[in-house]
């Protein structure tokens, strides 16, 4: 009958190589020896031969029982000591040499009743025809005619061999349970067959199984091959493995077992690493976070909430990545003029400045207006938040002001610049924070940031310093540029300024001197970034290019020569390490995250580069190629604004997500976001508004307007 290959799928395939028995001479000899158990004369013929052989076996007579013991009409039978409680099987003696490499036969145990009733376990006694038996037994065997340990007489002749022949297995089947019998057969096959023959036998048995039986067997094997390698490793090694996984893999690991779940959920370090690797926290923020949590952990009531924060941020990002998700929108009134010149989004504060001479402060968490800071006599063109509710502003009135947002008051006024304060930054060196301001008067001024924790600090008093000589917070002036200072950035004691004189200058504020003058741009410089992690400077301007400068080894940039007095050590560097091309108009905006360097220009293009290698990663353009007026990016998202457009991009896969979130805005002037909310300063119908987009909750039927 033709087999049904659909029901028995393994019968339709050839025997795989690893299950084949090769036809070499040596293996054929072994196979012939091994298969003596399963081939030759039939069971009936062997039984007849055994019954006819009076010399090799005694005829069993009828048994009867008396007083709980066996009594025989013929010679008394005794239990063979070699099978007391055990059954042994071996190949015939003539094949021992051919299969000398096979494994030792394990012993198979049976219950007492089976042993008593089995003819294999009993042998008839015979007259002692052994001669020359001495008192010493070098082999450790009991003497003939002696007594065994249990008091029974020992057999006067050697016990017959317990060779497991076919009839032995046949007779055993009638004396033990089916499970025990199959166990004995399996043991014989496993111990007597060569590895190749045994594998071949197993495959042939499996090939006879139906599809459903194979499925059950496959499930059983698969489940029992699983191994919890994480639990078997030291915790440090296990966590070193797990911290290298993305959250998609971690979420699957959480469902593996209670052990894995407990290990992952109770390891705050792993969740902090995920905050960085998933782009919810920058490396700088991570370092600051470690410092604050180290102090917090000293409090016995402290509970690390990193895992909860991560899961929340992951939900917000998932919502943002969904094109169908519409965030909750809140619109608040803005400045009295339509153009917002600067915006800060820090510590749940949203702070905006404009040409109406005021600074407006909003609560980002509750999405409401808090206060308006007044005092400048000109437009506010520069803002920088300095933590603890301290804000610094620069204005066209040539002054620098320090504010306490919590009190809603100005605490310090610094005067000294002779033209508009166009840009500013705050750096920290050796525990002291400094304000760096750049002006159209071609200079940079350095000031100490007042410490709100000092005993002399009074938020209710405004200290005005009309000159630098009378100002205890004034550090000095950095001179060298030949035109307006348009941009400034810094970290630690290093500050970089970009000017309309086509050059950048690198300053050391600890020594108050110039280190390098970087030349190479052929037009005015509009934006600069100090990448302190790699000790590089990145700049962009009206010559349509983005340039990268190596400050670790300035010789890599181009020709270098010392300018000014020799002891001053200021080095002029001609050309840059890299020039990134692609824009076709002014490049006025730069942004840097842990993964990406992003540039935006008046050509309507957004270009992304790898922050380490500067290879091109993406390029987007606005509708109608209108100039990009603002953008903000991290490792996961890029948000840009321009005339009538507000676009959100997924930087993990490079696809646009949203383009209709603020479709009613005429112009988007500035945008920032944290892991949950987007904030945008927009112009609509000639008026200024501040928009909040909350991806932690979905849009209601009607947006909130205040």
247-254 and 258-265 helices, crossing angle to 10°: 130
- 258 pLDDT band, cuts 50/70/90, is confident
Instruction: Choose the weakest-confidence range: 268-277, 446-455, 527-536.
Output: 268-277
Mean pLDDT of 454-479: 94
* Residues 80 and 118: beta-carbon distance below 8 Å: no
Give me the pLDDT at residue 328, please.
Answer: 96
The yes-or-no verdict on residue 299 having pLDDT over 70 is: no
The yes-or-no verdict on residue 362 having pLDDT over 60 is: yes
Q: Hey, where are the domains in the chain?
A: 40-126+146-193, 233-320, 335-500+520-549+578-675
Greater confidence (328 vs 26) lies with 328
Q: Show Cβ contacts of residue 584 under 8 Å, excluding neighbours closer than 6 positions.
A: 544, 601, 603, 605
- 567 pLDDT band, cuts 50/70/90, is low
Class of domain 335-500+520-549+578-675: mainly beta
DSSP, res 280: S
CA distance 293 to 305: 10
Greater confidence (573 vs 122) lies with 573
Mean pLDDT of 145-171: 50
Mean pLDDT of 352-380: 96
643-658 per-position pLDDT tens digit: 999 999 999 999 999 9
Greater confidence (362 vs 73) lies with 362
The yes-or-no verdict on residue 154 having pLDDT over 80 is: no
* Residues 343 and 350: beta-carbon distance below 8 Å: yes
* Residues 628 and 657: beta-carbon distance below 8 Å: no
The yes-or-no verdict on residue 161 having pLDDT over 60 is: no
- Identify the burial level of 378 via C-beta atoms within 10 angstroms of its C-beta, where 0-12 means exposed, 13-18 middle and 19 or more buried: middle
CA distance 602 to 270: 42
Greater confidence (170 vs 540) lies with 540
Give me the pLDDT at residue 2, please.
Answer: 66
CA distance 469 to 396: 22
| Token pair in block for residue 4 | 């049904």
Instruction: Choose the weakest-confidence range: 32-41, 211-220, 244-253.
Output: 32-41
Give me the pLDDT at residue 380, please.
Answer: 97
The yes-or-no verdict on residue 509 having pLDDT over 80 is: yes
The phi, psi pair for 47, rounded to 5°, reads -65, -40
Which residues are bridge partners to 705 per DSSP? 331
The yes-or-no verdict on residue 224 having pLDDT over 50 is: yes
CA distance 512 to 489: 16
CA distance 537 to 196: 68
Which residues are bridge partners to 383 per DSSP? 393
Count other Cβ atoms within 10 Å, centred on residue 421: 29
Give me the pLDDT at residue 436, please.
Answer: 98
Give me the pLDDT at residue 36, please.
Answer: 57
H helix count then E strand count, the chain: 14, 42
Greater confidence (251 vs 66) lies with 251
Q: Show Cβ contacts of residue 554 under 8 Å, excluding neighbours closer than 6 positions.
A: 516, 560, 571, 573
Which residues are bridge partners to 495 per DSSP? 490, 507
Q: Could you give the C-alpha distances from 322 to 265, 380, 621, in angstroms and in order?
A: 27, 37, 21
Give me the pLDDT at residue 498, please.
Answer: 97
Mean pLDDT of 441-451: 96
* Residues 163 and 172: beta-carbon distance below 8 Å: no
CA distance 270 to 235: 12
Greater confidence (531 vs 226) lies with 531
The yes-or-no verdict on residue 469 having pLDDT over 90 is: yes
Instruction: Choose the weakest-confidence range: 1-10, 655-664, 674-683.
Output: 1-10
Give me the pLDDT at residue 565, please.
Answer: 73
Greater confidence (650 vs 259) lies with 650
349-358 per-position pLDDT tens digit: 999 999 999 9
The yes-or-no verdict on residue 600 having pLDDT over 70 is: yes
Q: Could you give the C-alpha distances from 340 to 115, 377, 432, 678, in angstroms and in order?
A: 100, 17, 31, 16
Give me the pLDDT at residue 535, please.
Answer: 96
The yes-or-no verdict on residue 121 having pLDDT over 60 is: no
| Token pair in block for residue 233 | 């490793």
Give me the pLDDT at residue 444, please.
Answer: 98
Which residues are bridge partners to 333 per DSSP? 689
Give me the pLDDT at residue 410, please.
Answer: 96
Mean pLDDT of 583-594: 95
* Residues 512 and 476: beta-carbon distance below 8 Å: yes
Q: Among 437, 355, 361, 433, which residue's Cα sits nearest to residue 394?
A: 437
| Sheet with 474-478, side-by-side order of all strands | 421-429, 432-439, 444-448, 474-478
Mean pLDDT of 23-33: 57
CA distance 665 to 663: 6
Give me the pLDDT at residue 416, please.
Answer: 96
Give the residue carrying structure tokens 């840097």. 592
| Token pair in block for residue 343 | 């915006």
Give the residue carrying structure tokens 């993990």. 652
157-162's contacts with Cβ under 8 Å and 24+ in sequence apart are 157/125, 157/126, 157/128, 157/129, 157/130, 158/130, 159/80, 159/81, 159/82, 159/123, 160/56, 160/57, 160/80, 160/123, 161/93, 162/80, 162/82, 162/83, 162/87, 162/88, 162/89, 162/90, 162/120
CA distance 178 to 172: 10
Give me the pLDDT at residue 176, please.
Answer: 78
Give me the pLDDT at residue 107, please.
Answer: 42
The yes-or-no verdict on residue 130 having pLDDT over 60 is: no
Class of domain 233-320: mainly alpha
Give me the pLDDT at residue 688, please.
Answer: 97
Which residue stretches of 106-257 are H helix? 112-117, 166-173, 178-192, 195-207, 211-225, 229-232, 235-242, 247-254
Greater confidence (100 vs 301) lies with 301
- 26 pLDDT band, cuts 50/70/90, is low
Q: What is the mean pLDDT of the chain?
A: 81
The yes-or-no verdict on residue 419 having pLDDT over 50 is: yes
Mean pLDDT of 252-261: 88
Count other Cβ atoms within 10 Å, centred on residue 499: 25
Q: Show Cβ contacts of residue 15 under 8 Å, excluding neighbours closer than 6 positions.
A: 200, 203, 204
- Identify the burial level of 337 via C-beta atoms within 10 angstroms of its C-beta, where 0-12 means exposed, 13-18 middle and 19 or more buried: middle
Which residues are bridge partners to 400 per DSSP? 394, 414
- 226 pLDDT band, cuts 50/70/90, is confident
């Amino acid at each position: 009958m033709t087999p049904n290959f659909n029901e028995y799928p393994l019968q339709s395939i050839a025997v795989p190589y690893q299950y084949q028995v090769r036809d070499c001479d040596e293996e054929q000899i072994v196979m012939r020896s091994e298969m003596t158990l399963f081939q030759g004369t039939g069971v009936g013929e062997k039984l007849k031969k055994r019954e006819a052989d009076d010399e090799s076996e005694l005829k069993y007579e009828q048994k009867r029982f008396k007083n709980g013991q066996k009594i025989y009409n013929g010679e008394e039978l005794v239990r063979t000591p070699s099978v007391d409680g055990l059954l042994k099987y071996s190949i015939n003696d003539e094949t021992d040499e051919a299969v000398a490499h096979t494994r030792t036969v394990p012993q198979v145990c049976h219950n007492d009743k089976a042993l008593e009733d089995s003819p294999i376990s009993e042998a008839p006694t015979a007259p002692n025809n052994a001669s020359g038996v001495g008192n010493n037994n070098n082999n450790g065997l009991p003497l003939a005619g002696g007594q065994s340990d249990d008091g029974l007489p020992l057999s006067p002749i050697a016990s017959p061999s317990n060779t497991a022949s076919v009839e032995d297995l046949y007779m055993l089947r009638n004396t033990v349970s089916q499970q025990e019998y199959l166990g004995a057969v399996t043991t014989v096959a496993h111990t007597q067959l060569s590895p190749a023959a045994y594998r071949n036998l197993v495959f042939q048995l499996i090939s006879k199984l139906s599809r459903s039986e194979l499925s059950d067997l496959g499930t059983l094997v698969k489940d029992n091959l699983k191994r919890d390698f994480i639990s078997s490793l030291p915790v440090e090694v296990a966590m070193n493995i797990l911290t290298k996984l993305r959250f998609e893999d971690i979420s699957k690991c959480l469902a593996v077992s209670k052990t894995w779940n407990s290990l992952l959920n109770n390891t705050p370090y792993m969740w902090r690493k995920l905050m960085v690797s998933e782009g919810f926290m920058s490396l700088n923020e991570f370092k600051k976070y470690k410092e604050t949590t180290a102090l917090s952990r000293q409090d016995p009531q402290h509970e690390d909430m990193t895992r909860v924060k991560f899961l929340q941020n992951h939900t917000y990002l998932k919502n943002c990545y969904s094109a169908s998700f519409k965030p909750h929108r809140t619109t608040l009134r803005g400045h009295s003029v339509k153009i917002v010149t600067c915006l800060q989004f820090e510590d749940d504060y949203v702070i905006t400045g404009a040409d109406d001479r005021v600074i407006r402060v909003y609560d980002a968490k509750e999405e409401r207006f808090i206060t308006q800071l007044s005092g400048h006599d000109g437009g506010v063109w520069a803002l920088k938040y300095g933590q603890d509710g301290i804000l610094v502003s620069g204005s066209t009135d040539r002054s620098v002001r320090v504010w306490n947002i919590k009190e809603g008051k100005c605490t310090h006024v610094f005067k000294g610049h002779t033209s508009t304060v166009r840009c500013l930054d705050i750096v920290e060196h050796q525990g002291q924070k400094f304000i760096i301001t750049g002006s159209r008067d071609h200079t940079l001024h350095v000031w100490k940031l007042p410490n709100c924790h000092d005993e002399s600090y009074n938020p209710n008093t405004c200290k005005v310093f009309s000159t630098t000589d009378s100002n205890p917070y004034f550090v000095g002036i950095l001179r060298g540029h030949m035109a307006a200072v348009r941009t400034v950035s810094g970290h630690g004691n290093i500050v970089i300024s970009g000017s309309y004189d086509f050059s950048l200058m690198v300053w050391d504020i600890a020594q108050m001197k110039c280190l390098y003058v970087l030349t190479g741009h052929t037009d005015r410089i509009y934006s600069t970034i100090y990448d302190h992690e790699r000790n590089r400077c990145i700049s962009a301007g009206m010559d349509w290019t983005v340039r990268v400068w190596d400050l670790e080894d300035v010789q890599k940039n181009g020709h270098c020569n010392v300018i000014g007095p020799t002891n001053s050590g200021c080095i002029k560097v001609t050309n840059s390490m890299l020039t990134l091309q692609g824009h076709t108009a002014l490049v006025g905006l730069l942004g840097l995250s842990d993964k990406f360097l992003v540039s935006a220009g008046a050509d309507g293009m957004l270009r992304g580069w790898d922050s380490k290698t500067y290879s091109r990663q993406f390029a987007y353009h606005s509708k109608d190629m209108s100039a990009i007026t603002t953008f903000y990016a991290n490792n996961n998202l890029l948000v840009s604004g321009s005339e009538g457009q507000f676009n959100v991009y997924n930087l993990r896969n490079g696809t646009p997500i949203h383009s209709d979130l603020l479709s009613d805005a005429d112009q988007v002037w500035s945008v920032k976001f944290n892991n949950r909310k987007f904030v945008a300063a927009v112009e609509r119908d000639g008026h200024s508004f501040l928009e909040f987009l909350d991806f932690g909750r979905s849009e209601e039927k009607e947006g909130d307007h205040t």
